[in-house]
Chain A
Amino acid sequence: MHDDLFSPTIREQPAPGRPPWRPESIVYPAFFGGPLAAATLGVLNGRRLALPTGHLLAIAGAGLAGFAARAVVEGFTDGNSPTRLAGTVTGLLVWLVVLSLQRRPFRVVALRGHGPARLLGPGFAAAIGCGLLEAILLVVLVR
Chain B
Amino acid sequence: MNAALHHAQALLATGRPEQALTELSTLPANEVTGSYAMQLRCAALSQLDRWTEVGDATRAGLAANGPDPDLLLWLGRSEHEAGRDPMAERVLLDGLALAPHDVDLLCAYADLCAANGQLDKAGKLVDLAAARAPQAPVVYATRIQLAHARGDDREAQRISREFVGVHPENPVAHALLGSTSAARGQVDAAYEGFRQAAAARPTEQIFAESAMELRVARHPLMLPLRPILRFGALKTWLVAVGLIIGLRAVGLPVLAGLLGFVWLAFCVYSWVVPPLVRKWVLRGWR
Residues of B close to A111: CB separation below 8 A: 111, 114-115, 145, 149
Compute how far the CA of A9 lies from the CA of B187 in the bound complex, rounded to whole angstroms: 39
Q: Tell me whether A10 and B112 are in contact (CB under 8 A).
A: yes
Q: Which of A42-80 contact B (CB under 8 A)?
A: none
Query: Cβ of A12: which chain B residues have Cβ within 8 Å of it?
Result: 85-86
Alpha-carbon distance between A27 and B113 when the two chains are bound, in angstroms: 30
B232 nearest CB across to chain A (Å): 9
Q: Which residues of A contact B112 (CB under 8 A)?
A: 10
CB nearest neighbor in A for B96: A6
**Are B121 and A5 interface neighbours, CB within 8 A?**
yes
Contact in complex: B114, A96 (CB < 8 Å):
no
How far does the alpha carbon of A85 sit from the alpha carbon of B248 in the complex, in Å?
12
Among A10, A13, A28, residue most surrounded by chain B Cβ atoms (within 10 Å): A10
Q: Which of A2, A27, A112 contacts B128 (CB 8 A)?
A: A2
**Residues of B contacting A7 with CB < 8 Å?**
93
- A interface majority secondary structure: helix
Within 1-36 of A, Cβ neighbours of B (below 8 Å) are at 2, 5-13, 24, 27-28, 31-32
Beta-carbon contact of B100 and A6 below 8 Å: yes
Contacts known (A27-B233, A104-B150, A105-B117); A8 close to B100, Cβ less than 8 A: no
Least distance between A101 CB and chain B CB atoms (Å)? 11
Judge whether A10 and B233 touch: CB under 8 Å: no
Are A5 and B125 within 8 A (Cβ)? Answer: yes
Against A, the Cβ 8 Å flags (1 = close, 0 = not) of B176-219 are: 00000000000000000000000000000000000000000000
Q: How far is the CB of A62 from chain B (nearest CB, A)?
A: 16
Q: Please measure, in the bound complex, the distance between the C-alpha atom of A139 and the C-alpha atom of B275, giving whole angstroms.
A: 37
Chain A nearest CB, measured from B246 CB (Å): 12
Contact partner of B151 (CB less than 8 A), chosen from A8, A11, A89, A103, is A103
- With a cutoff of 8 Å between Cβ atoms, the chain A residues found around residue B258 in the complex are none
Chain A interface category by residue count = 20 to 34
Contacts of A5 in B (CB 8 A): 121, 124-125, 128
Taking CB atoms, residues of chain B closer than 8 Å to A31 are 237, 267
Verify B113–A28 contact, CB threshold 8 A.
no
Nearest chain A CB to B248 CB, angstrom units: 8
A83 located at the interface, meaning its Cβ lies under 8 Å from any Cβ of chain B in the complex: no
Chain B, residues 242-286, CB within 8 Å of chain A (1/0): the string is: 001100000000000000000000010001000000000000000
Q: Determine whether the beta carbon of A10 is less than 8 Å from that of B85.
A: yes
Q: Which residues of A lie under 8 Å from residue B158 when comparing CB positions?
A: none
Per the bound structure, the CA–CA distance linking A39 and B149 in Å amounts to 24
In the complex, per-residue mask of A79-112: 1 if CB is within 8 Å of any chain B CB, else 0: 0000001001100100010000001110110011
Shortest CB-to-CB span from A26 to chain B, Å, is 11
CA distance A6 to B96 in the complex (A): 8
> Is B113 a contact partner of A9 (Cβ separation < 8 A)?
yes
Contacts of B113 in A (CB 8 A): 9-10
Beta-carbon contact of B116 and A13 below 8 Å: yes
Q: Which B residue sits closest to A104, measured CB to CB?
A: B151
Distance in angstroms from A123 CB to nearest chain B CB is: 9
- Expressed in whole angstroms, the minimum distance between the Cβ of A99 and any Cβ of chain B is 9
Residue numbers in A under 8 Å from B116 (CB-CB) = 10, 13, 108
Provide a sorted-by-A list of 24 A–B residue pairs whose CB atoms are within 8 angstroms: A5-B128, A6-B97, A9-B118, A10-B85, A10-B112, A10-B118, A12-B86, A13-B85, A13-B116, A24-B233, A28-B267, A31-B237, A31-B267, A88-B241, A89-B241, A96-B234, A104-B119, A104-B150, A107-B149, A107-B151, A108-B114, A108-B115, A111-B111, A111-B149
